[in-house]
Amino acid sequence: MKLTEIMKLTEAELLCGDAESQDYKNAFSSDLMSDVLTNEADEAFLITGLVNVQAIRTAEMADISCILFVRDKEIPPNMIRLAEESDITLLRTKHTMFWVCGVLYQAGIVSVY
């Protein structure tokens, strides 16, 4: 699924990155970055409410190219800069993680587990 479609479904805004050229089959939702590091799925993006640089660093280590932040969290400028340097797309939505996961599941996004 194109990231632009994911953005429409979740009513997400683009904070940095390129939404036009990205496709995803899988998603992983967690606020525990240690769980994210066990993720071995290709073409997956991360859904989280954890807003700190560890989310960006974890995405780098897990080869995740997109993070969708939930619950309308404010993303600090230093996180956006780090994501840009790491070529990671950041999105934000006002909705809860539960709602986002349900909407994406109905649209065909598959969990990594």
Per residue of the chain (113 residues), give pLDDT as tens. 999 999 999 999 999 998 888 889 999 999 888 878 887 766 789 999 999 999 999 999 988 999 999 999 999 999 999 999 999 999 999 999 999 999 999 999 988 77
Task: Using a pLDDT cut of 70, give the percent of the chain over it.
Answer: 98
Q: For the whole model, what pTM was predicted?
A: 0.93
What ranges do the domains of the chain cover? Answer: 3-111
Cα(113)–Cα(110) distance, rounded to whole angstroms? 8
pLDDT of amino acid 41: 64
Model pLDDT for residues 35-62, shown as the tens digit of each residue:
788 877 667 899 999 999 999 999 999 8
Domain 3-111, CATH homologous superfamily name and number? HprK N-terminal domain-like (3.40.1390.20)
Structure token digits, residue 5: 């479609």
From its phi and psi, is residue 3 left (phi > 0), alpha (psi between -120 and 50) or beta? Answer: alpha
pLDDT of amino acid 67: 96
Beta strands in 21-104 (DSSP E): 26-29, 44-48, 66-69, 89-92
